[in-house]
Structure 1
Amino acid sequence: MDVFDILDRLVAFPSVAGKPNGDIAGWIEAYLAKHTTQVTLLPGPEGDRSNLFATIGPCDVPGYILSGHMDVVPASEPQWSSSPFALRKEGERLYGRGTTDMKGFLAAVLAAVPALAALRLARPIHFAFSYDEEVGCRGVPHLIARLPELCAQPLGVIVGEPSGLRAVRSHKGKAAARLIINGRSGHSSRPDLGLNAIHAMAGALSAVVSEAERLTNGPFDPDFEPPYSSLQAGVIAGGHQVNIIPDTCTLDLEARAVPGVDPASLLAPVKARAEALAAQGFRVEWKPMSAYPALSLPQDAALAALLRELTGEVPLAAVSYGTEAGLYQDAGLDAIICGPGDIDRAHKPDEYILTNELAACQRLIGALGARCAA
């Protein structure tokens, strides 16, 4: 199968994050098994989703991981010009959900398997394909925990998120949470008999605004735009109608932290402000939604030098979006971002990747294979 046939099959799996992924993981497992690749499905604690890890070459020698996720965001937007889960070619564009983020990378990796297997690699190339990346990198921690039993300590991890095939050394970390304040309902004419959850949320929302302003004072990292950490309220909901005391109010908030700052710590002042409401009779729930650490690979790292050699370009210092790379680095592995496509096409109707972007990614993987065979 060539890269286009493989991408066609991958896009056809509606592997939306948070849903069972046995179909796509099983298909990839079967494909790899045909090429005598060492492949292992790693079920997650959910019971209906699995990561996948595979190796070409010797497992007991340090090598490189090509990392990607099998899940995609939903494709319910009415603006799609054709079925999002059926690959459509129009000129050099290949349309479909996940073509750029990031089944295009997976297809390029899988299409390279026969050639890599024929090289008899001296250093292994591993494939680490995760689930539920799009809902907070929930699957890959379980895969990372299993790495010591699956392979020797890798030399580095290349995360194939869309970067225009330009390597990227850094991104911010992120933490998101949902705050739910439960009060007591009643008629609006008797506010003394109820507990207004929206009014109570105002204090927590004020804490978000003040903390967001404080973060503009640093610490700073000039590689990023903006060069400081951030905090924002993204979604707020509560109440039924104007003459009813609202008994529930919900706030979704997120923090994005420059390297060296724990993103979860940026949410702590808001959590503390909300939990203090318990003394007034409110019931407060704090539900973490997602978290991943920042990525910060030194400019002089061997992995950065390798990607500079393979791509012919100096790695970019940073990007604004986040990836699983920070989790690999947090586990003690050097990691870098480098994949085909443009992140600006992701999570939109008529997402697409270009045929020449897939071809360039295949050449990059082939060059990595040549290095590992030397």
Structure 2
Amino acid sequence: MQAAEILEALVAFPSVVGTPNDSIVAWVRDYLRRQGITAAMLPGPEGDRANLFATVGPKELPGYVLSGHMDVVPANEDGWTSDPFRLRADAGRLYGRGATDMKGFLAVVLAVIPKLAALPLRRPIHIAFSYDEEAGCRGVPHMIARLPELCERPLGAIIGEPSGMRAIRAHKGKAAARLTVRGRSGHSSRPDQGLNAVHAMSDVLGQAVAEAARLSRGPFEATFEPPYSSLQIGTLRGGQAVNIIPESCEAEFEARAISGIDPAGLLEPVRQAAERLTGRGFGVEWQELSAYPALSLAEGAPLAALLEELTGVEPLAAVSYGTEAGLFQQAGIDAIICGPGEIGRAHKANEYILVEELEACRAVIEALGAHCAS
């Protein structure tokens, strides 16, 4: 099958983040089986989602991982001119949810499998497809934890997030959390008889704003824009009517960290401010939504040199968006980003990828196969 045919099949699965993905995993497993490749389905703790891992070549030797996620964001945006879960071709563009982020990469990997399987590989090429990346990389840690039983420690992992097929060496880490504050409702004419959750939340919001200002003063890492860690309040909900004391208030916070800084740790002052509200009679619930570390691959790393050789383009130092790459690096596996499409098309109506971008990705993966067979 050609990459576009496989992409059509993958887009047809509405594998929205946070939902069961058994159908798409089974399809990929069966496709690989037809190519003579055995794939392991690795269920996550949720019970209705699974990662998938397979190896082409000698798994007892160190090789390279081609990594991507099977989930997509919901397709609820206004402006879609066709069914987002039915691939539409028009003038060299392939439209559909996930076409760029990142089923296009998955489709190319699967399309190249027959050619890779026919090569006398001296080093293996592994396929690692994950779930719930869009929820903060929740699925891939379970697969990474099982790598020692699945293969020798890889020489590197190539994460196929859309990068225009230019390798990327670094991105920030991220953590996000939801805070719910619960007070006591009542009529606004008697504030002395209630506990205003919105008022209480304002103390926590003030702490978050102060932390954001502090982070902007450094430390700095010049490869990023902005060159410092950041923190923001992303959402705020509370209250029912102007004459009712708000019983509850909810806010979501996000932190993005430069290399060497724990993103979850950046949210700790906010969490502590929330905990102090319990002394005033408020109920507090702090829920971690996502967390993944930064990626920082050295300029002179062998994996960076390999990707420059395969793509013919010097790797880019850093990007602002995050990926699963930092989790591979945290596990002791060098990682780099390189995939077809442009990130600016992701998470939008009429998401698309170019046929020529799929072909460029195919050329790089085939070159990787030749490298592993040399």
Q: Normalised by the size of structure 1, how large is the TM-score? A: 1.00
Shift of 1:78: 2.5
Structure-1 residue corresponding to 2:79: 79
SS in 2 for 1:157: strand
1:240 paired with 2:240, answer yes
Query: 2-side partners of 1:191 and 1:23: how far apart?
Result: 54
Query: 1-side partners of 2:12 and 2:238: how far apart?
Result: 38
Query: 1-side partners of 2:314 and 2:36: how far apart?
Result: 35
The one-letter code sitting in structure 2 at the alignment partner of 1:75 is A
SS in 2 for 1:206: helix
Shift of 1:36: 1.1
Structure-1 residue corresponding to 2:358: 358
Structure-1 residue corresponding to 2:310: 310
Query: 2-side partners of 1:273 and 1:39: how far apart?
Result: 47
Query: 1-side partners of 2:310 and 2:6: how far apart?
Result: 24
The one-letter code sitting in structure 2 at the alignment partner of 1:147 is L
Structure-2 residue corresponding to 1:153: 153
SS in 2 for 1:121: coil
Query: 1-side partners of 2:151 and 2:120: how far apart?
Result: 17
Structure-2 residue corresponding to 1:208: 208
1:116 paired with 2:116, answer yes
Query: 1-side partners of 2:312 and 2:4: how far apart?
Result: 25
1:171 paired with 2:194, answer no
Structure-2 residue corresponding to 1:277: 277
SS in 2 for 1:112: helix
SS in 1 for 2:267: helix
For these two proteins, the number of residue pairs brought into alignment is 374
SS in 2 for 1:110: helix
Q: Which runs of 5+ in 2 are unaligned?
A: none
Query: 1-side partners of 2:254 and 2:304: how far apart?
Result: 30
The one-letter code sitting in structure 1 at the alignment partner of 2:132 is D
Query: 2-side partners of 1:120 and 1:17: how far apart?
Result: 37
Shift of 1:373: 0.6
The one-letter code sitting in structure 2 at the alignment partner of 1:303 is L
Shift of 1:38: 2.7
The 5-angstrom pairing of residues 289-328 of structure 1 reads 289-328=289-328
Query: 1-side partners of 2:317 and 2:130: how far apart?
Result: 25
Query: 2-side partners of 1:10 and 1:101: how far apart?
Result: 12
Query: 2-side partners of 1:52 and 1:70: how far apart?
Result: 10
Q: Normalised by the size of structure 2, how large is the TM-score? A: 1.00
Shift of 1:312: 0.5
Question: Retained in 1: the 8 A contact 2:169–2:317?
Answer: yes
Structure-2 residue corresponding to 1:2: 2
The one-letter code sitting in structure 2 at the alignment partner of 1:182 is R
The 5-angstrom pairing of residues 181-200 of structure 1 reads 181-200=181-200
Q: 1:339-373: per-residue Cα shift (whole Å, max 9, x none)?
A: 00000000000000000000000000000000001
Query: 2-side partners of 1:160 and 1:257: how far apart?
Result: 22
Structure-2 residue corresponding to 1:134: 134
Query: 1-side partners of 2:125 and 2:237: how far apart?
Result: 47
Structure-1 residue corresponding to 2:331: 331
Shift of 1:120: 2.5
Q: Which runs of 5+ in 1 are unaligned?
A: none
Q: 1:78-126: per-residue Cα shift (whole Å, max 9, x none)?
A: 3101000000000011000000000000000000000000002110000
Structure-2 residue corresponding to 1:32: 32
Query: 1-side partners of 2:69 and 2:252: how far apart?
Result: 25
The one-letter code sitting in structure 1 at the alignment partner of 2:337 is I
SS in 1 for 2:212: helix
SS in 2 for 1:261: coil
Query: 2-side partners of 1:211 and 1:4: how far apart?
Result: 47
Shift of 1:35: 1.0
Query: 2-side partners of 1:356 and 1:6: how far apart?
Result: 15
Query: 1-side partners of 2:293 and 2:200: how far apart?
Result: 31
Structure 1 runs (4+) deviating above 6 angstroms are none
The one-letter code sitting in structure 2 at the alignment partner of 1:91 is A
Q: 1:138-179: per-residue Cα shift (whole Å, max 9, x none)?
A: 000000000000000100000000000000000000000000
Query: 1-side partners of 2:13 and 2:120: how far apart?
Result: 32
The one-letter code sitting in structure 2 at the alignment partner of 1:281 is G
Shift of 1:76: 1.2
The one-letter code sitting in structure 2 at the alignment partner of 1:186 is G
The one-letter code sitting in structure 1 at the alignment partner of 2:78 is P
Question: Retained in 1: the 8 A contact 2:29–2:38?
Answer: no
Structure-2 residue corresponding to 1:50: 50
Shift of 1:188: 0.5
